[in-house]
Amino acid sequence: MSKEGFKKPYHNYIEDWTTFRANSDEKQVIAEWLLSQNAWPKKNPFSITDFGCGDGKVAAQVILSAPRDGNHARSIALVDPDQRFLEAACQHLRDVLPPNRENHCELASYQHRVGSAPAKCFESDVLLLIHVVYLMPTSEFRGLLRKVKPGSALYIILDHPKSVFSQLWKETAPKYLARVEKTHSLIAELSATEFHVRRSLPEQLISRFRKSALDDHLIGPRLISMLCYDDKLDIGRDERFKTLFWNIVNKQSNSHVNCRSVGYEIIRKIE
């Protein structure tokens, strides 16, 4: 494992991200969508690389949600620049991978950014890039596209342009919103002669968490910081931002905050 530094978007990012995932059904929604995609391997044992894997719970949920009589992963590579995330991801995968030899799955981890990951990570049958692109410079994302091998399936999930995240980021995290918007544009511009691209339907990738969690004195501040990508905001003292935040959040359902995402299935065509 190579050590590579991780520049967090803000100081408490990892703790806030972990809190958000623990209170949201995001991993189940994403796993269900992935397994339903046309190019998701359904016959032969296959390999997966999860770039920016975080705590590994999405990949673990994919393993848990896959049909027991269906295909299985022969290898999973976890890539993340944060060592704590990698250690947690490895443990979460070990907890769910089948112990029998017939369905044995090789697990490897690499402490790298996406752009500097070992070449073999880009040779997997399935490449996952789940809510990672806003942490990547555009040049790094372009480099990833060039490294995808023909026939492999690249799955990218990022925030919908009208999601609660995108609406808040216009005010609180414009740099990260710009990266999301640029990625949508780059994918739309991919050559149809080189790539096959399918975009998720509007209702397919909507995760949610309880709106009441925002009022919890322990969980609430972390969820608010995550939604805004900024832990320096004081919603209790900044009346302008408080009004903005609740105007956006209260457009959601009465009981939950809905977080809309867009998923892309991208296949580099075999020449």
The structural domains of the chain, ordered by start, are 13-160+173-208+258-268 (3.40.50.150)
pLDDT per residue as tens, the chain (271 positions):
444 555 778 888 989 999 999 999 999 999 999 999 999 988 778 899 999 999 999 999 998 888 765 567 889 999 999 999 999 999 999 998 877 655 678 999 999 999 899 999 999 999 999 999 888 888 999 999 989 999 999 999 999 999 999 999 998 999 999 999 999 999 999 999 999 999 998 888 999 999 999 999 999 999 999 999 987 766 667 788 888 898 998 887 779 999 999 999 999 987 7
What is the rounded CA–CA span in Å between residue 157 and residue 133? 8
d(CA 121, CA 117): 7
Give the distance, in angstroms, between the CA of residue 182 and the centroid of all CA atoms in the same chain. Answer: 17
Q: How far apart are CA 32 and CA 27, in angstroms?
A: 9
Confirm if 134 and 119 have CB atoms less than 8 A apart.
no
122 CB neighbour count, 10 Å cutoff: 21
Q: How do 256-268 and 46-51 pair as beta strands?
A: unpaired
Residue 235 main-chain phi, psi, to 5 deg: -65, -20
pTM: 0.92
Q: How far, in Å, CA of 208 to CA of 261, rounded?
A: 11
